[in-house]
Amino acid sequence: MADRGEEEVKLLSIGVALAVLGSPALHSQDDGLPPWVLTLSKIKRQAKAELQRTPNYSCLETIDRSQKLPGAQPFKPLDTLRIEVAFIDGKELFAPQGAGQFQDVDLSAFMSGGSLGTGAFTSVARNLFVNSGGLTTGSGEEKLGDRATIWYGYKMPELSNAYRLQGPGGEAYVGEEGRFWVDANSLELLRIEDRAVDIPEYLRIRDVTTAIVYGKVQIGPSPVLLPRMAETLVTDADGHQDRNVTEFTNCREYRSESLIRFGPDDSDTKPPVKKK
C-alpha cells in the first residue's frame, strides 16, 4: 500500500485512551497530549457509542470454506454454510437458514469437520471498543484503495481470556495482536486484522489470522456499523490450511415474534452444501 506514514508510540491501555477526552481534569490539558492519543480517544468513543446503540438484529451468514494441503495450490473448495446469526440483548444466537428459531448454541453445532472461526459478528470489535481490551502498539496513516485512513496497532494478552482456540490437542486461551483502520475524516471503523499469538504447541495450530471489513447498514430507522465480510485462515502444525470467507447479508432488525430456543434442535439443522 502506498502513502504510508508511521510513528512509534508507547504502549497505552485502550481503556486509558477512552478516558482521555471524557475526563474533566484532562480536558483542559488536551493541547499537551500527543495527537495520536487525542485521535485514538475520539475513535474509541465514537466506535463505542456506535456499537452500544446497535439494536437487536439478525443477518444471513454465508461461509465459504476451503482447504489446502501442505505445498498444494490453490485452495480446494470444501462446502458452503448458510446460517442465520442474531445479536439479541448482548448475546450471539444462531439458527439454520430459514428456520426462524434462534438457538443459544455454539456455531460448530451446524457443521461437521473442518475449521470454523467465531467472533467476527460482534466479539472482535466489542472487545476492542466496548470492553476496552488491549494495548496500543503503533499508529500511522495509510491508503486503503483510494481512501485515506488512520491505523492503530494493538495487542491483548492471553490473560484477558478474550480469544479461545480449539485444536486437535485441546483448547486454550491465547493472546492476540493486530491493527484496526478508520476513515481519516469521519473516523468510522473500516477494517480489523487480528492474529493469534502465544499458541501452545499442544494445540497443534501454527497460526490463525482474521480480517474483518465493516460498513454502515440500514437497521430500522438508522444506519448502524456492522461487519460486512470476514476471512479467517487457520494453519495447523503440519502446514495444512483451512480458509473461511464469510459474508453478512440481509441484515434486519430482530422481530420479537421470532422464537428463541436454548440448546440444539437436530430436526432444524441442515447439512452444509458440499462443493464439487
Q: What CATH number does the domain containing 161 carry?
A: 2.50.20
Residue 269 lies in a domain: no
In a domain, 259, yes or no: no
pLDDT value for 101: 80
Does residue 16 have a pLDDT over 90? no
Residue 234: inside a domain: yes
137 located within any domain: yes
pLDDT at 80: 94
**Is residue 266 one of the residues assigned to a domain?**
no
Q: How many domains does one find in the chain? A: 1
pTM of whole model > 0.85? no
Distance CA 14, CA 194 (A): 16
Going from the C-alpha of 91 to that of each of 1, 6, 59, 109, the distances in angstroms are 37, 37, 14, 17
Domain hosting residue 74, numbered range = 5-14+53-252
Domain assignment of residue 150, yes or no: yes
The share of the chain scoring above pLDDT 90, in percent, equals 46
Q: What is the pLDDT of residue 66?
A: 95
**Per-residue pLDDT tens for 108-159?**
666 666 666 666 667 889 888 988 777 899 999 999 999 999 999 999 988 7
User: DSSP assignment, residue 99?
Assistant: T
Alpha carbon separation from 69 to 33, 60, 168, 194, 239 (Å, rounded): 50, 30, 17, 23, 7
Query: Is residue 215 scored above 90 in pLDDT?
Result: yes
Mean pLDDT of the chain: 79
Is residue 202 situated within a structural domain? yes
